[in-house]
């Protein structure tokens, strides 16, 4: 019962943080990311709004940590499948490490390089573009690829534990995550936008579905 109760809490926490992070992406981060085609405008926003910029990234930090806890709880409620589910937890652990590293660069390094770019011109702007691509590859390609693989490796073996709509949403997370990873690899901004627009709702629906199912299981085992 305790494991299902923990999973319920973890799923609600992950859903809430991803929802907040998604709003932060739309309302704040998009102004400083490649979704803004005007490089000077990007640099100005990052330089002039450092607190808002950092707070928005902290939302994604929290989302990464809650998804790790969510996977750990999924692992604990499926004791008979521990052998198969340990590997996805390891993948998510690696993904979180990569994700937080990339986001740390975006929070702590980009503002300074952006300020230099506005002062010094093309050379510093070129440095910013290199860092931009580095962060995209780390979080968009590598971390999201690992998250997507881990999700599919968890959702399929445990599909009998959840309603069809729930595990299908989980597969949607995996599919959208793979699409995002490919978009990051090929540096396609439109594909990054659309894959993110699909990924976040799938994550929230999947985690809410898991939370509701886990809550029912926990009550049934009392």
Does residue 78 register a pLDDT over 90?
no
How many structural domains is the chain composed of?
Answer: 1
Q: What pLDDT, in 10s, does the model give residues 6-65? A: 999 999 999 999 999 999 999 999 999 988 888 889 999 999 999 999 999 999 999 999
Whole-number percent of the chain with pLDDT over 70: 95
Q: Which domain does 125 fall in, by range?
A: 2-220
Yes or no: say if 20 and 80 are a contact pair by the CB < 8 Å rule.
Answer: no
Lowest-confidence pick of 62-71, 111-120, 190-199: 111-120
Does residue 218 register a pLDDT over 90?
no
Does residue 116 register a pLDDT over 90?
no
Does residue 82 register a pLDDT over 60?
no
**How far are the Cα atoms of 7, 69, 81, 120 from residue 11, in angstroms, in the given order?**
6, 9, 19, 46
Per-residue model confidence (pLDDT) at position 124: 67
CA–CA separation, 92 vs 149, rounded Å?
9
Q: What pLDDT, in 10s, does the model give residues 158-185? A: 888 899 999 999 999 999 999 999 999 9
Q: Average pLDDT in the 87-110 region?
A: 95
CA–CA separation, 185 vs 146, rounded Å?
14
* pTM score of the predicted model: 0.92
Among candidates 8, 183, 7, which has minimal Cα distance to 79? 7
């Amino acid at each position: 019962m305790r494991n299902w109760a923990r999973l319920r809490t973890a799923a609600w926490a992950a859903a809430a943080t991803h929802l907040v992070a998604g709003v932060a992406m739309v309302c704040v981060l998009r102004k400083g990311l490649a979704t803004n085609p005007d490089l000077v405008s990007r640099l100005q926003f990052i330089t002039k709004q450092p607190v808002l910029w950092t707070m928005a990234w902290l939302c994604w930090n929290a989302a990464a940590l809650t998804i790790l806890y969510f996977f750990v709880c999924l692992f604990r409620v499926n004791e008979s499948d521990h052998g198969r589910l340990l590997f996805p937890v390891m993948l998510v652990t690696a993904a979180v490490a990569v994700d937080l590293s990339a986001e740390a660069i975006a929070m702590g390094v980009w503002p300074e390089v952006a300020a230099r770019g506005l002062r010094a011109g093309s050379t510093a702007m070129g440095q910013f573009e290199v860092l931009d691509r580095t962060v995209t590859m780390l979080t968009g390609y590598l971390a999201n690829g690992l998250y997507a693989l881990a999700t599919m490796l968890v959702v399929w073996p445990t599909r009998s534990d959840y309603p069809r709509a729930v595990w299908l949403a989980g597969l949607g997370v995996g599919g959208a995550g793979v699409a995002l990873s490919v978009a990051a690899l090929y540096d396609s901004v439109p594909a990054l936008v659309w894959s993110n627009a699909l990924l976040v709702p799938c994550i929230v629906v999947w985690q809410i579905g898991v939370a509701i199912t886990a809550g029912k299981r926990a009550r049934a085992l009392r």
